Structure 1
Amino acid sequence: MPMVYIWMHEGKDAAYKRHIAEGIHAAMKDVLGVPNDTWDQFFNEIKPGNMIFDPNYFGVARSPDMIFIHFFFNTRPREMKERFFEAVADEVTRRSGLRREDLLMSITEVPWENWWAYGRTVDPTTGFDTRMTGQG
């Protein structure tokens, strides 16, 4: 049941945001094994002047199109998170046209017992939704 928050400057159309959302979802299904109906993404459009960042963050030129994606999900192995970051970057940039340099991401891991959704069933051995595939 990953929850995803996306911050970006205001002004992008619904189709652009949908491409980003679909890219994120494709990576979550592929790498994390989430079910197809797990869509919990929230776009936060920031007014000019309210998203301040260095245009050369980490020595890489960033544009005003920069977005920040914050994921919340159960604990995963380091290697899986590394694959996940790359898969999100690949899918989002391919689908939306966003430059890879304009994508920043982070993950907050949450213990499985801190999630609730009506209808969700949890495997007591793994702590993951029983409908998840693979290592989830």
Structure 2
Amino acid sequence: MPLVHISLRSGKSDVYRQAIFDGVYHAMRDALDAPEDNQFMVITEHTSANFRFGASYLNIARSEDLVFIQITLNNTRSSEQKKALFRRIVELLGESPQIRPEDVFINLVEVEKENWSLGNGVAQYA
């Protein structure tokens, strides 16, 4: 049950943003076997004054097209699944909307299953 928060600089087209949604969703389906239609995702756009990053941290040359992707998910995935997810997201976003691998920053936040309520005040996974 991933919940995805995506942050990027403002000014990208609807098509560009939808391609990011699609790429991340398909990567989660491929690498994590996320359920079909499990598309709880939000994109937040920021002005340059409100979007800061290390342009060369760890010797990775990032550009103004940097995208932050934070995925909150159950703590049930193996390290290999997580690495496969990272690779697949970068691959799919490279295809469309053609984001450079250096500009894809991914962070996973793992939580216990009982920390989710998907509606009706019920902890569906507890």
TM-score surpassing 0.5?
A: yes
With 28-37 and 68-77 compared, the bigger mean Cα shift is at: 28-37
Q: Which amino acid aligns with 2:81?
A: M
With 53-62 and 96-105 compared, the bigger mean Cα shift is at: 53-62
Question: Residue 6 of structure 1: SS of its match in structure 2?
Answer: strand
Aligned residue runs from structure 1 range 71-82, under 5 A: 71-75=71-75, 76-82=77-83
**How large is the Cα RMSD of the aligned pairs?**
1.6
For residue 97 of structure 2, what is the aligned residue in structure 1? 96
Asked whether 1:55 is paired with 2:62, we answer no
Query: Following the alignment from structure 1 to structure 2, what is the Cα–Cα distance between the partners of residues 93 and 16?
Result: 12
Cα deviation, residue 57, structure 1:
2.1
Deviations 1:40-77 (A, max 9, x none): 11101011111111221211211101111000000111
Query: Following the alignment from structure 1 to structure 2, what is the Cα–Cα distance between the partners of residues 121 and 10?
Result: 35
Aligned residues: 123
Give the unaligned 5+ runs of structure 1: 128-136
Identity of aligned residues (%): 31
Contact 2:6/2:42, CA 8 A, preserved across alignment = yes
For residue 108 of structure 2, what is the aligned residue in structure 1? 107
With 104-113 and 47-56 compared, the bigger mean Cα shift is at: 47-56
TM-score, normalised via structure 1 length: 0.84
With 24-33 and 112-121 compared, the bigger mean Cα shift is at: 112-121
Q: Which amino acid aligns with 1:11?
A: G
Cα deviation, residue 121, structure 1:
5.2
